[in-house]
Chain A
Amino acid sequence: MTPTASPTASDTSALGVFDDVVRSESSLRRFLHGLPGVDQVGCEARAAGLATRSIKTTSKAFAIDLAIRMVDLTTLEGQDTPGKVRALASKAIRPDPADPTCPATAAVCVYPDMVATAKQTLGDSGVNVAAVATAFPSGRAAMDIKLADTRDAVEAGADEIDMVIDRGAFLSGRYLQVFEEIAQVKEACGDAHLKVIFETGELQTYDNVRRASWLAMMAGGHFIKTSTGKVQPAATLPVTLIMLEAVRDFREQTGQMVGVKPAGGIKTTKDAIKYLVMVNEICGGDWLDPDWFRFGASTLLNDLLMQRTKMTTGRYSGPDYFTLD
């Protein structure tokens, strides 16, 4: 099963609700700083508590297939070549060549210059091409360059754009600038879906993560994403918990759903299942879909495949029985 094009996510209609909020720097600041605070100890305890859920047998099989369908199979290296990207794209379409019942991943995630290559292999398989843009990973470039980077990826055929926010602007309190950058990138995306990367490892506090989440949702992001994978810590359970609470509360207020994508550091099936439990218990079943939750990962997929084979055959196979890419 392949992810369908997202339903009417938070398109500009959501903006009307927040017109007063984003009218000025000070009104936006008042709103973001007026959000309920996060108690660090309590938040981490809640995430750790959910991580003790024991997911066995049928529920584990369900979770593994769902997790595979949620993977944005990623390669973001200086050493990426067309050959590497073609191999990865093939793997995304058919992750386990030995088992045709194994679902495809949601997308392949590459740098903009590799979009055309990925698109060529993926064709109409239903697997999307996601491109990181806006001077990924640091976001340190002039705005027109970020926009050109985005348009370039979209023109090459990207279905999804993963942008980074300007953390410098965010941390120095220039929220309106961050808001406007997201809105402009979104415009440059055209029909492509926009994921907004916060780099939570640089924002540091949970209060900041909550504010960044609301900022990105109000600016029209379809997804909010934790990290680039280039900064440690990348995705963590408590950070994702805060983002899930944010999308849940945003829907309560606006009726619009926004997706969440933890990225970086999620390597094992056990980890992935912990995230799915959290999605299930914080946001509910509506978010248990590749349209609304993704994993940004490279090595996770093979562990999911190994566990999947174990579930169906009762035996573990070594890594040699699964393709590298």
Chain B
Amino acid sequence: MTNIFEYAPAPESRAIVDIKPSYGLFINGEFVDGNGTSFKTVNPATEEVLAEVAEATDADVDEAVKAARRAYTRVWSRMSGAERAKYLYRIARIIQERGRELAVLESIDNGKPIKESRDVDVPIVAAHFFYYAGWADKLKYSGYGETPLGVAGQVIPWNFPLLMLAWKIAPALACGNTVVLKPAETTPLTALLFAEICQQADLPPGVVNIVTGAGDTGRAIVSHPDVDKVAFTGSTEVGKAIARAVAGSDKKVTLELGGKAANIVFDDAPLDQAVEGIVNGIFFNQGHVCCAGSRLLVQESVADEVMDRLKRRMATLRVGDPLDKNTDVGAINSAEQLAKIRELSQVGEDEGAERWSAPCDLPANGYWFAPTVFTGVSQAHRIAREEIFGPVLSVLTFRTPSEAVEKANNTPFGLSAGVWTDKGSRILSMANRLRAGVVWANTFNKFDPTSPFGGYKESGYGREGGRHGLEAYLKGADA
């Protein structure tokens, strides 16, 4: 089916970013070589190698923690909140000024469409720094005291590299802590650009340290004896390992882990907007979203109509070059993740669910997966229970609100949920009964720095964002 109105390519220029052939570690305000080997980061849309990045060893991590401790003791914890706020406001403004550069680099290294990095990721990153800058001199009204913890060791995932960095660093710094942060091994570049922004903002050396590497580097950070606080966002599997590693220590921990969110559509829902919400829920960021609406629970009486509308809408999704301004769905972040998505999708077929993928031409190079929906899925299927972390939606049906609640809660996870109905009272009663950290009503995947975010059960513990997000970085009102 050819359309008479084909959109010509509209690529965002790469010229604004300057990717160096190799990157070191950012320790004590400077880029250093480190003692380890290096690894390559690739553009997932083309498989082109972008840069060599240093892999931090235990000794490098120790250097970074020492630098953070020094900065904490001598400078940052002694500085008034109002002074700390000035640095955070400065960082926020530089992020806005260099927004296009950050967005382009994020799309190149991560594979997400420029439309999202430009309109969602980067603006929310800046908003996070602005928001927590505002708290820095008002901590005594937070309810959690105003005493910082010390050095925070932070490990973040590859799905929102810069946004997860902001969620971690902004509240930590506002409360007076210093940080050692490890970006994911497939997406280190924007964190390293953020390190440059810290230099540009004249942030005192050692307040922010960025160490790159994979699992071993992460382990070195969380198990370092001089780290007071561990913050992790990533898989439930690694989250459990971290919880074990810090058990029995004095370290404070927050974990933001996986999810298998139910997006619940009632028969009185605004259907066209619900379809948009379903699409946004699972295909936003290629479904690489811990709170993705990966399980669609649709009331049986409208199931056929919703599915027809959903497939028609999915057929209009534009999959391809992340830097094209008209791209809706970009590249899968890595070969490893693509293999996992393919494997679980095969399992879905083998278990008897019906698979439908949007008709689209996928590029020859790079890691790609067409937006896919499985119908006829039951609670017993693996694709209804396990996190796929890709553009794959599992559709289940329900008959009554109680059945919807039971199915939605029947999962080891509990990060988010969505409710679609025109009935206000039903929204409130559903929100009360759903065991999920975030419940969206007639919308999905909306993020705001003022709103706390976090999970139930195997989705982790602790909250990030809002006033609640300060608790993880302060000693408490009694301290």
- A residues sitting closer than 8 Å to B (CB atoms) are 36-39, 41-43, 45-46, 52-60, 62-63, 66, 245, 276-277, 280-281, 284-285, 288
Contacts and interface: CB of A to CB of B under 8 A. Distances in A.
Contact of A54 (B270, B326, B422, B443): B326
Chain B interface category by residue count = 20 to 34
B5 A43 contact: no
A59 B271 contact: no
Given A54-B7, A56-B10, A280-B3, 10 more contacts: A42-B276, A42-B277, A43-B270, A52-B325, A53-B7, A53-B326, A55-B7, A56-B8, A59-B6, A280-B5
Interface in B319-365: 325-326
Contact of B442 (A39, A59, A66, A280): A39
Contacts of B276: 42, 45-46
A255 to B, nearest CB: 16
A37 B115 contact: no
A245 B274 CA distance: 14
A182 to B, nearest CB: 24
Contacts, number: 71
B119 interface: yes
B410 interface: no
A288 B115 contact: no
Contacts of B310: none
Nearest to A63: B5
A2 B115 CA distance: 37
B5 A37 contact: no
A157 B246 CA distance: 86
A40 to B, nearest CB: 9
B326 A42 contact: no
12 contacts: A37-B270, A39-B270, A41-B442, A46-B272, A46-B273, A52-B325, A53-B7, A54-B10, A59-B6, A62-B4, A245-B272, A288-B5
B268 interface: yes
B115 A52 contact: yes
Contacts of A52: 115, 119, 325
A38 B422 CA distance: 9
Interface in B406-450: 422, 442-443
Given A41-B442, A46-B276, A36 B269 contact: yes
A282 B277 CA distance: 16
Which are the 7 A-B pairs with shortest beta-carbon distances? A42-B273, A54-B10, A54-B325, A39-B270, A39-B273, A36-B271, A59-B8
A55 B277 CA distance: 25
B22 interface: no
B273 A43 contact: yes
Contacts of B10: 54-56
B115 A36 contact: no
A42 B8 contact: no
A59 B6 CA distance: 6
Contacts of A39: 270, 273, 442
Contacts of B301: none
B5 A38 contact: no
B451 interface: no
Contacts of B442: 39, 41-42
Given A36-B271, A41-B442, A46-B273, A284 B6 contact: no
Interface string B15-39: 0000000000000000000000000
A185 B6 CA distance: 39
B316 interface: yes
Contacts of A276: 5
A277 B4 CA distance: 12
A53 B325 CA distance: 7
A37 B8 contact: no
Nearest to B442: A39
A284 to B, nearest CB: 7
A285 B326 contact: no
Interface in B387-417: none
Contact of A43 (B7, B119, B272): B272
A284 B3 contact: yes
Contacts of A54: 7, 10, 325-326
A52 B273 CA distance: 18
B11 to A, nearest CB: 9
Contacts of A288: 4-5
Interface string B260-296: 0000000011111100110000000000000000000
A36 B272 contact: yes
Contacts of B325: 52-54
A280 B468 CA distance: 44
Residue in A42, A55, A284 whose Cβ sees the most chain B Cβ within 10 Å: A42
